Amino acid sequence: MSPTVRKPVQAAEAGQPRKRAAAEPRTNDPERTKAEILRAAIVEFGEKGLAGGRIDEIAAATHTSKRMIYYYFGSKDGLYLAALEQSYARVRDTEMQLRLDDMDPQTALRCLVTVMFDHHLDNEHYIRIVMSENINRGRYLKQSSKIQELNRPAITLLRSIYDRGVAAGLFRPGLDATDIHASISALSFFNVSNRQTFGLIFQQDNQSPAYQANRRENVVQMILRYVRHP
């Protein structure tokens, strides 16, 4: 199957908070306000890390106040943790919107890998904030009371696809769904986290739509060939 070239994603589509027009009044909508703060926080902490990220910048980007941010999230650390949780929740929500049970196992796995690859590609600040937390050795994510619950559906979904494939004689038995998920994540994550250095070292235009379309198809094929019954 020939890879499809995707159009470049605009900043607003990639998780950048949209700037509110100066004359646009803010309505009393706490959930919307919190969502806008979280989007801005993911960008700010993704760019600068927890230590470098500034609440002032997040407040300015969302036309709120530091006082309001602290009211909703308690502290800078609380906002950072909430931004981390939201980063994972967004990718899980994207996966859960797929109707993979209606597809045969190979098509479902292809679709899932493609969507995961594209989500990573389109959300660079998600990659950056996760990298930042790994530098922190997971110090803040350990404090989350819901991170396992947020991510459990990803393994359940992948295990369902894999088990259907094994039952149909399409996938080889004995593989672990978490390990398959780790492989998909690693290939998708590296494509974004290391593209600057990789492109410079090997003199590749690895940010072009054509390159990414080819890379996406390669990742899909690697995963499919890994699970297929010989």
Average pLDDT over residues 171-182: 98
pLDDT score of 15 more than 60: no
pLDDT in the model for residue 26: 52
144 sits in which H/E element = none
Average pLDDT over residues 133-161: 93
pLDDT in the model for residue 230: 84
Task: Measure the CA angle with vertex 127, ends 195 and 54; round to 5°.
Answer: 115
pLDDT score of 133 more than 90: yes
Round the average pLDDT of the chain to a whole number and report it.
89
Written as one string, the DSSP assignment of 55-118 is: HHHHHHHHT--HHHHHHHHSSHHHHHHHHHHHHHHHHHHHHHTS-GGGS-HHHHHHHHHHHHHH
pLDDT one-digit tens code per residue, 114-129: 999 999 999 999 999 9
19 secondary structure, DSSP code: P
Task: State pTM to two decimals.
Answer: 0.82
Confidence of residue 89 (pLDDT cuts 50, 70, 90): very high
pLDDT in the model for residue 29: 83
Select from 116, 125, 102, 117 the least CA-distant residue to 39. 125
C-beta of residue 123 within 8 angstroms of C-beta of residue 117 = no
pLDDT one-digit tens code per residue, 23-51: 344 557 889 999 999 999 999 999 999 99
| 11-227: CATH class | mainly alpha
Average pLDDT over residues 204-226: 96
